[in-house]
Amino acid sequence: MGIEDFGGGQAPQSDVLVVTTNDVPGYHVERVIGEVFGLTVRSRHLGSQIGAGLKSLVGGELKGLTKTLVETRNQAMERLTEQARSRGANAVLMMRFDVTEAADVGTEVCAYGTAVVLTART
């Protein structure tokens, strides 16, 4: 597996900027649209659970589970940006992830933040 399997984040050509900061240098918040989020729930795969159980006996990274979590976070981010775009935003400030267990059948990942319209400072 390559480095792209273990990383994530926003695509460089995205029309909605997503940052974890409260502001963006050189830009002014023209309008606050409000909270947006992207949510996904992934069930556990039996094969990965067995593999993770065996791997936990000897230690080391659970690469299959790591890759699944990266894919899940990326899907939550995509849904976040889709929602922001559909509401007229060109940026999401203060983006965070929340990860919880969903009724012992899977993992819920939520990407959330504040949708805004940014304009360049003059």
Q: Does domain 3-120 have CATH number 3.30.110.70?
A: yes
Q: How far apart are CA 113 and CA 22, in angstroms?
A: 10
Share of the chain above pLDDT 70, in %: 80
61-73 average pLDDT score: 81
Question: Residue 67 has what pLDDT?
Answer: 81
| Phi, psi for 62 (deg, rounded to 5) | -95, 80
Q: Is this prediction's pTM over 0.75?
A: yes
Average pLDDT, the chain: 84
Residue 5 has pLDDT above 70, yes or no: no
Instruction: Provide CB contacts within 8 A for 10, sequence distance 6+.
Output: 17, 18, 77, 81
**What tens digit of pLDDT does each residue of 7-66 get?**
767 777 789 999 999 999 999 999 999 999 999 998 865 555 555 555 566 677 777 777
| Least confident residue range of 4-18, 43-57, 72-86, 100-114 | 43-57
